[in-house]
Amino acid sequence: MENREERLAATFIELADALVNDFDLVELLDLLAVRCTELLGVSAAALLLAPPGTELRSIAASDSGYALSDLLAVAKRDGPAWESHRDVTSVGPVDLDSARSRWPEFAEAAERAGYREMCAVPMRLRDEVLGALLLLNIHSGKLSVSDIRLAQALADAATIGILHERVVRQQADLVTQLHTALQSRILIEQAKGILAARSNTSVDQAFEMMRGHARRHRRRISEVAHHVIDTSGTLPAPKN
């Protein structure tokens, strides 16, 4: 079984591969969210980004369920991720009882979703601030100082990758890229609901089907989502 150091090294290699091979922002951030749960032992992780001049938006999450989605709708305007992005600093970990007075709306939504510990670190590089990485636990007292440092390192790696992509491809505008990612996320959310209904399965299982199909056949998950929405089938046939 791999130890934490080996899994961490493998994660940074995966992030590097995602940047080199047909850069896809949504895929990169989805990967980071899932790896955060594995490396940090948290119950859920999410990334919220803010294109310049706009509010935070949820772009990627380790859990595609409705409970977390409802919480993230609040997290963009209240809670540790919002505060971390605003102040460009790590926030927490904070237990649910302390959160009630600090972020009443977020704490109420977190309790409904079953989370009792929360933390966030900024996605930033020097003067550039893109958003925040939100970490959630169903039990309190789980996140250590070293966990927070590792979370910041992962967030920094993703931020550097996004900003490096902008430099390498100067013609690509970061604002357009982030807005495109937002539209892709909306499309994916629609498709997984449609696929769940057609396949008589859960939304989470439908999302895993789409993501697995995209990876196996070297397609972007947004392409798979388009096919699910635009046809009466379930998943597209593999490329020749």
Q: Where, residue-wise, is CATH 1.10.10.10 in the chain?
A: 183-230
Whole-model pTM: value is: 0.70
Q: What is the pLDDT of residues 11-56, one digit of tens each?
A: 666 666 655 556 677 777 888 898 889 888 999 999 999 876 678 8
pLDDT at 219: 86
CATH code that applies to domain 4-171: 3.30.450.40
- The pair of structure tokens assigned to 113 is 């979703």
**First CA to last CA distance, the chain:** 36
- Which of the four CATH numbers 1.10.10.10, 3.30.565.10, 3.30.230.10, 2.60.40.1180 does domain 183-230 have? 1.10.10.10
Residue 188 burial (C-beta neighbours within 10 Å; 0-12, 13-18, 19+): buried
| Alpha carbons 44 and 61: distance in angstroms, whole number | 7
| Alpha carbons 199 and 106: distance in angstroms, whole number | 34
Q: Where, residue-wise, is CATH 3.30.450.40 in the chain?
A: 4-171
pLDDT at 171: 46
Q: What is the pLDDT of residues 137-153, one digit of tens each?
A: 999 888 899 999 999 98
Collapsing DSSP to helix, strand or coil, 167 comes out as: helix
CB 133 within 8 A of CB 36: yes
Q: What is the DSSP letter of 146?
A: H
